Structure 1
Amino acid sequence: MKIALVSYSTKPRGGVVHTLALAEALAAAGEDVTVWSLGRGGDSGFFRAVAPDVRVRIVPFREGPVDETVGERILRSIATLRDAFDPSPYDVVHAQDCISANAVGRCVRTVHHLDHFTTPELAACHERAIVEPYAHICVSRSVADELAEGWGLAAEVIPNGVAYDRFATTDPAARDAWRARLGRYVLTVGGIEPRKGSLDLLEAYALLRAEHPDVRLVIAGGETLFDYRDYRGRWETRAAELGVEPLVLGQVSDPDLPPLVAAAAAFAFPSAKEGFGLAAMEALAAGVPLVVRDLPVLREVFTPAARFATTPHSLATELATALTTEAPARRAAGQELAAHHTWHTAAQHHLTFYHSLQR
């Protein structure tokens, strides 16, 4: 089967990590897989090397004018990918986000999570990418239920895999190097943006520091298509008001990420909207105590391995408990849960679904 997986970016966002891992697992199963993406910022390849049995097609995407709006950038992204993409060689075209779904025409769509956008062009992109694909996949039952309730659409539920061995067996020297550099820290991965609950985590960190002044908050990642400068400004102002100084690492290289995660004393995942929580599952694979926001989707995915919080105060409380009295049984449950989610299994379920669409 010839399969095209299509993404909007080469950067290490969760949906892009998913796309590459799925492509490699499908290719390992003997399928002919090509990954298409826009190459932003001059990128000619993905943030990491891709297995040689996966074809990669990067469509150059030039920087726009300095006054380009988010909406204009969305429309230009769609048009650029549409002009380059030819669906005719493929048995299955599988879009992983709203930009690629708008660009490629008839497709299968993975709805990782549902958003509510105020930018008109982005809201329209989001809506079309839900209603126009002929088949849908969700990475959790909770998101599939949202899709059914809001749009009357039935989606196949195929959970994410996780690169378990990569995070569970990190190099001890590399892990210890992060600890020597950063000390004792709570880590979050995903950048500073509204969906990631960054302001709530900042408030929680200030409360946590009152009892654990030696603990740092470390933030990794954050590459995004959207412009969160206003939110980032509010976050920086609030940090100054609270008298805290989180360490913002930005994008971390792919080889450095597993030891950075493994070296953390706890992992915070206070997202207000998620589809699965791949970064949090990677933390469980590394044996790191996990505290997440109490959302139905995160209850679905992470019970019984995570601690759950609803407010900055409860987030601080649960992080403090994770730092001081995390039970070995909970860590073991987390690693067992992460080991259960394999990309091989995810790929096999995708193939079964693809074949069902050919009948």
Structure 2
Amino acid sequence: MRIALLTYSTKPRGGVVHTLNLAEALAAAGADVTVWSLARDGDPGFFRPVEDAVRLELVPFVAIEAESVGQRILRSIDTLRAAFDAARYDIVHAQDCLSANAAGRCIRTIHHLDEFSTPELAACHERAIIEPYARICVSAAVAAEVRAGWGFEPTVIPNGVDFERFAAAAGPDAAGQRQAWRNRLGRYVLAVGGIEPRKGSIDLLEAFALLADQDLQLVFAGGETLFDYRDYRARFTARADELGLAPVILGAVADADLPSLVAAAAAVPFFSRKEGFGLAAMEALAAGVPVVARDLPVLREVFDDAVDYVSTPGQLAAALRAALPTDPARRARGRAVASRYRWADAARAHLDFYAALSTTQPSHRPTTTSTWSAAPIPPLQGLTTRSVIARPSG
């Protein structure tokens, strides 16, 4: 079975991490896998090495000064679409809205739903839900949102987690790497995922100010995004100044250094407003680090009793304070939950899904009558810039 997995970036974003781990697990199970991606900013490869069994097709995509978000979205779709050859594959599986718009007839993994104010991105998001011939979600909670909003019935296949790698980062052999981070940062809580509205970064500032622990540092680590969060980042900086906070912003961290950074943290606050699974928090649990999460249905589904759930910055501050003392039982619960999620299991479920589709679906390969073209994608008829997921909830 020849499988193409498509993603939109070579940078360390959650969907890209998912794509690479799934590709490697599929290849280990005997599948012929190729990952397609835009190679952003002259990247010669992905943010981490990829197993040799996985083929890579990277499409150059250079930044253009003063390009708007909408223009960049459309150019991203056009560039990937022009390079991608669906006829080479039995399965075409897009991992995000940009690659789904570029791929033509495809399977789509809907990691999470979001709202976008950029019209081109709102239209991209909508089409990438409606047009694919099959859909996967990484949690039942997101599948329920898709069902309520669009009437589709996605198949649920949870993420895996690189359990051994993050568990090892908490072990005796990695003590030096953990200490190096503590020497650099002091005692810290770690927010993974960058500074953006979906991650609740400003809410986290409010909580940290209420925590009022002078010996504790707030650290942010996160990767590149296509989207323009400069206004939010400006509000974040202004609010940090008002609160008298000086958070450490590491930006993207080298993949080899990430497990020890996570394992050295005193706690991981996971205060996202929207998530599809919560892979960064699951990695923290694998490393034995306590997690405090926003009370979202998807996180209760995935994390069970391994984390504390809160709804307000005040509750987050109190829960973080309570989580900071070492609690071996809590760490054991977290590791037990993280150990349930394996990429090998996710790969087997995907292969079963692909095989079932091959007996019920016509070929995905485009024909000369395909309705897909390289023309720019306008906003869909009737959509406003914030209506994409304003669907009935019941």
Q: Please, what TM-score do these two structures have when normalized by structure 2?
A: 0.89
Amino acid at match of 1:355: A
- The residue identity in structure 2 corresponding to 1:358 is S
Q: How do 1:1-359 residues align onto structure 2 when only pairs under 5 Å count?
A: 1-64=1-64, 66-170=65-169, 171-209=174-212, 212-324=213-325, 327-359=327-359
Aligned-partner Cα distance in 2 for 1:50–1:129 = 27
TM superposition shift of 1:67: 2.1
2:175 and 2:161 map into 1 onto residues whose CA distance is 20
Deviation at 1:341, TM superposition (A): 0.3
Number of residue pairs matched? 355
Contact conserved, 1:188 with 1:268, CA < 8 A, in 2? yes
State the Cα deviation string for residues 250-300 of structure 1 (Å, max 9, x = none).
010011000000000000110000000000000000000001110110111
Give the stretch that moved more between structures: 30-39 or 172-181.
172-181
Residue identity matched to 2:134: A
Match of 2:310, as an amino acid? A
Distance in structure 1 (CA, Å) of the matches to 2:117 and 2:315? 30
Aligned counterparts of 2:354 and 2:129: Cα–Cα separation in 1: 18
Instruction: Tell me how far apart the structure 1 counterparts of residues 104 and 143 of structure 2 sit (CA, whole Å).
Output: 22
| Preserved contact between residue 11 and residue 223 of structure 2 (Cα < 8 Å) | no
1:118, CA displacement in angstroms? 1.6
1:147-189 CA distances to partner (integer Å, 9 max, x unpaired)?
Answer: 0000000101000000001100021211111112211100011
Measure, in 2, the Cα distance between the counterparts of 1:321 and 1:41.
43
By how many angstroms is 1:327 displaced?
3.2
How far off is 1:194 after superposition? Answer: 0.2
CA distance in structure 2 between the partners assigned to 1:222 and 1:5 by the alignment = 21
* Separation in structure 2 between the aligned mates of residue 358 and residue 222 of structure 1, nearest angstrom: 36
Q: Distance in 2 between matches of 1:60 and 1:150?
A: 35
SS in 2 for 1:159: coil
Aligned-residue CA RMSD (Å): 0.7
Give distance in 2, aligned partners of 1:173 and 1:340: 28
2-structure distance, mates of 1:8, 1:157: 22
User: Given that residues 80 and 99 in structure 2 are in contact (C-alpha distance below 8 angstroms), is that contact kept between their aligned partners in structure 1?
Assistant: yes
Deviations 1:97-126 (A, max 9, x none): 000000010000000000111211000000
Specify the SS of the correspondent of 1:218: strand
SS in structure 2 of the partner of residue 88 of structure 1:
helix
Distance 1:321 1:243 in 2: 23
Contact 1:9–1:37 (CA under 8 A) maintained in structure 2: yes
Q: CA deviation at 1:60?
A: 0.3
Q: Which runs of 5+ in 1 are unaligned?
A: none
- Distance in structure 2 (CA, Å) of the matches to 1:74 and 1:134: 23
SS at the partner of 1:93? strand
Question: What's the secondary structure of 1:340's corresponding residue?
Answer: coil
**In structure 1, the residue corresponding to 2:220 is in which secondary structure?**
strand
Alpha-carbon displacement from aligned partner over 1:11-38 (angstroms, at most 9, x marks no partner): 0000000000000000000100000000
Is the contact between residue 7 and residue 96 of structure 1 (CA under 8 Å) also seen in structure 2? yes
Q: Could you say which structure has the greater relative contact order, defined with CA pairs below 8 angstroms and 6 or more residues apart?
A: 2
Task: Give me the whole-angstrom Cα distance separating, in 2, the residues matched to 1:251 and 1:242.
Answer: 25
Runs of 4+ in 1 over 4 A off after TM superposition: none
TM superposition shift of 1:322:
0.6
Letter in 1 for 2:168: T
Q: Which amino acid aligns with 2:82?
A: D
CA contact (8 A) 1:288 1:331 kept: yes
SS at match of 1:191: coil
* CA deviation profile, 1:197-241 (whole Å, cap 9, x unmatched): 0000001011112xx210000100131011111100000011011
- 3-state DSSP of counterpart to 1:336: helix
Counterpart of 1:103 in structure 2: which amino acid? A
Q: Does the CA-based 8 Å contact 1:187-1:266 persist in structure 2?
A: yes
- The runs of 5 or more residues in structure 2 that have no matched partner are 360-394
Tell me how far apart the structure 1 counterparts of residues 223 and 253 of structure 2 sit (CA, whole Å): 10
Shift of 1:7: 0.1
SS at match of 1:130: helix
Q: Is the 8 A contact 1:304 1:330 kept in 2?
A: no
Contact 1:192/1:222 (8 A) holds in 2: no
Q: Distance in 2 between matches of 1:267 and 1:149?
A: 32
